A and B are shown apart, each in its own frame.
Chain A
Amino acid sequence: MANPSTPEAPELHPGARRIIRVGAAGKPEIVIDHWQRLVDGDPFPSLNALPVLVSLERAEQERPALEHRLGTWGIWLAGDADPEQVAARVLDRALVAIAVTKFTDGRHYSLARLLRERYGFRGELRAFGDVLPDQLSYMRRCGYTSFELARGKSLETGLRCLDAFSVSYQGNTEDPRPLYRRRG
């Protein structure tokens, strides 16, 4: 159901979509997103300025072509990717997206935390796939900063779920201190 208060930008191209992104002030908001996520073998979009997300393998095989495009490029990873293997190869990207194949498979949470905390990834970290509103606050605390919800899921519910808790016992990727170092 469309909420009149959220932006309904004209469809610039078929791949534009509404997602949740954590803004500069740390506040999640609904935004229009233009990144084109490509499965291996998909052609690059004809609109040369559109940013694209490609698999790590494709990024490495087709790097010259990617660099040649006007739009920037990011990398998407499988949720069970090994951070030790992939981290160094994605660190310089503005956007890394992680595929959640099934929301009950929690491996991507470790991957996200390690990319942030151990390998120092500073760009936008996005979850896509089976991404449901009720898991967003866990994802946010593991370092994700944008969320492409599963088809048909309400972004407004997603925003509400992100706001469910004002307290957590654990640290997070922005402030690693557990509550026992913050209790006042």
Chain B
Amino acid sequence: MYRYDHYDQVLVDQRVAQFRDQISRRLSGEITEDEFKPLRLQNGLYMQLHAYMLRVAIPYGLLSSDQLRKLAEVSRTYDRGYGHFSTRQNIQYNWPRLQDVPDLLAELASVQMHAIQTSGNCIRNTTSDHLAGVARDELVDPRVYCEIIRQWSTLHPEFAFLPRKFKIAVTGAPTADRAAVRVHDIGVRAVPGRTADEPHGFQVLVGGGLGRTPRIAEVCREFLPREHLLSYLEAILRVYNRYGRRDNKFKARIKILVGALGIEAFSEQVEAEWAQIRDGAMQLTPEEFDRVAADFSDPDYAALEPSDLFVQSLALSKDRALGRFVASNVLPHKRPGYSIVMISLKAKGKPPGDATAEQMELVAELADTYGFGRIVVAHEQNLVLPDIESRHLPELHARLSALDLAEPNIGKVTDIIACPGLDYCNLANARSIPIATRISERIEDLDYLHDLGDISLNISGCINACGHHHVGNIGILGIDKQGEEFYQLMLGGSPSDDASIGKILGPALPSAEIVDAVANVLQTYVNNRESADERFLDYVRRAGFEPFKEQLYGQPEHA
């Protein structure tokens, strides 16, 4: 993984000193809260319902075991012994005291971490595929470009006060988008060169996003040679900085600008700007590409026999706990004899994405013992051990089970993405986490869970959509109806290559009925699907909403 050199380290150290100075000026009254707010947000510090919350950047989700141990230590010292992994591959701590934050950031800097630009109207943490570097379907390792983008965007002097926040995601797998690039402000997709001699380049998508106005990104440029990546991003950001709306924060994201101009006109403006800067000093040099890529080269994999058949046999093991875990949480690795292990942070009855200090320390230890000391945070709020020798899977499963980390539900309907909701957030209209825990408790029959197959279920506590409800196969949106928590049920969303925005199924339901409604929807699918091979999303797309409405609301519309 990327290792800081002298320059990278000096920059994060100076950033800590700068924030220490800013906080002391805030505490002395030299800076007003209005002036301080953007400064603290650009260091990840939010004011939540009850206290501050600090969001720490995990660039493209990649951690070393030492970094994860540090995150555990920080959670003990400054939080209440746990951390919350977010949908953008970051970690959040609740309850830090303002005057302690500089020391906390200094702790992070000691392991090459920071909280720079994890909030505020600036370029946020660049996210990526959680299987980067180990997936079989990968064209190029996207983390190389993510790191290059991280450096370009860090403390960029021109783009610190954009109209609104700005999120970039990169995928290196042209046929398997696991980074949700189509619902980002900019989505970067690695694509093969246009001729046999040409190296890979990028398709650049722009204007996607969720929130109040969900929108699927459109193609801004079909093929961008890789050496021009940064100048092209700079051109998009400059057009957005100059012309994005600033009169209304709900109309300020780039998707509104792209929508207002139309993708052709927007793209023409970007191309005109890019033409002025593309051949300048921002061109990526082969030396820089090689320097960064060297840090992402493969670890010392052993030469092993293929293990696919062995893994399949484990999935059918008489030990059903192990069998289910392998069937749902173990993925094929690009190297023979290795597997990718997904660790679900969605154990029954637990807030999605939360991990205790003990759990983090165990995962770090397992990464050292069985892998190469690397851990990845997935945007679905789970952890990944990317390099596990398949023969160790039973042992690993037993170790994970001991700390409630072996929930066999990756990709299943209880692998719920949820925002913090009304329990923590001052924007929320309704609670999210209790709904998630009630759904996971309701679907307790694991055979039924696995029979349902791959279904994503996303919950947001308000229309800001931090739980990405628009792109869940099942989406739940909390709303406020005369002071009562109600929930809208949506079906048909997807964040992947077949990205789509879910549609509302019918009238919103009170909290007491929403879990039954989800169970009802699932049963309708099971009863009517063509076969177990027809995924939930495919069934919804084929059959439409009528069967669900009939079962849930009892009123066939055309009866």
Identify the A interface with B (CB < 8 A).
Answer: 103-107, 109-110, 113, 118, 132, 134-135, 137-142, 154, 157, 160-161, 164-172, 176-181, 183
Contacts and interface: CB of A to CB of B under 8 A. Distances in A.
A125 to B, nearest CB: 14
Nearest to B151: A169
B288 A166 contact: no
A178 B21 CA distance: 27
Contacts of B10: 166-167
A179 B11 CA distance: 12
B238 A110 contact: yes
Contacts of A135: 160-161
B161 A106 contact: yes
Nearest to B284: A180
Contacts of B152: 169-170, 178
A123 B14 CA distance: 31
B14 A142 contact: no
B241 A109 contact: yes
A6 to B, nearest CB: 17
Contact of A105 (B21, B35, B246, B291): B246
A179 B151 contact: yes
Contact of A170 (B39, B157, B284): B157
**Closest CB pairs A-B (n = 9):** A106-B161, A141-B157, A180-B288, A138-B157, A176-B281, A169-B151, A109-B158, A164-B18, A167-B11
Given A142-B158, A167-B10, A171-B281, A107 B241 contact: yes
Given A169-B11, A169-B152, 18 more contacts: A104-B161, A106-B121, A106-B158, A106-B159, A106-B162, A110-B241, A134-B35, A138-B155, A138-B160, A139-B157, A140-B157, A164-B21, A165-B11, A170-B156, A171-B282, A179-B7, A180-B151, A181-B285
Given A107-B242, A109-B241, A180 B157 contact: no
A104 B30 contact: no
Interface in B13-39: 14-15, 17-18, 21-22, 25, 30-31, 35, 38-39
A181 B151 contact: no
Contacts of B31: 134
Contacts of B162: 106
Q: Looking at A109, A132, A166, A183, which has the most chain B CB atoms within 10 Å of its CB?
A: A109
Nearest to B36: A134
Contacts of A169: 11, 151-152, 154-156
B351 to A, nearest CB: 33
Nearest to A82: B242
Interface residues of B, number: 42
A109 B349 CA distance: 49
A113 B277 CA distance: 12
Nearest to B241: A110
Nearest to A112: B158
Contacts of B5: 183
A106 B121 CA distance: 10
Contacts of A179: 7, 151
Contacts, number: 104
B483 interface: no
Interface string B218-245: 0000000000001000000010011000
A167 B121 contact: no
Contacts of B21: 160, 164
Contacts of B159: 106, 109
A166 B18 CA distance: 12
Interface string B282-295: 10110110010000
A132 B35 contact: yes
B234 to A, nearest CB: 9
A104 B238 CA distance: 16
Contacts of A109: 157-161, 241
B195 interface: no
Contacts of B241: 106-107, 109-110
16 contacts: A103-B161, A104-B38, A104-B121, A106-B158, A109-B157, A110-B238, A154-B30, A164-B21, A165-B15, A166-B10, A167-B11, A169-B155, A177-B281, A178-B281, A180-B291, A181-B281
B308 to A, nearest CB: 40
A167 B284 CA distance: 19
Contacts of A107: 241-242, 246
Contacts of A132: 35
Contacts of B160: 106, 109, 135, 138
B281 A164 contact: no
The residue in A104, A166, A177 that gathers the most chain B C-beta atoms within 10 A of its C-beta is A104
B276 A118 contact: yes
A95 to B, nearest CB: 21
B7 A110 contact: no
B280 interface: yes
Given A138-B160, A181-B285, A165 B246 contact: no
A110 B281 contact: no
A134 B22 contact: yes
Contacts of B157: 109, 137-142, 168, 170, 172
Select the residue from A140, A166, A167 with max chain B CB neighbours within 10 A.
A167
Nearest to B120: A104
Interface string B21-65: 110010000110001001100000000000000000000000000
A134 B39 contact: yes
B159 to A, nearest CB: 7
B365 to A, nearest CB: 34
B257 to A, nearest CB: 13
A180 B160 CA distance: 21
Nearest to B25: A157
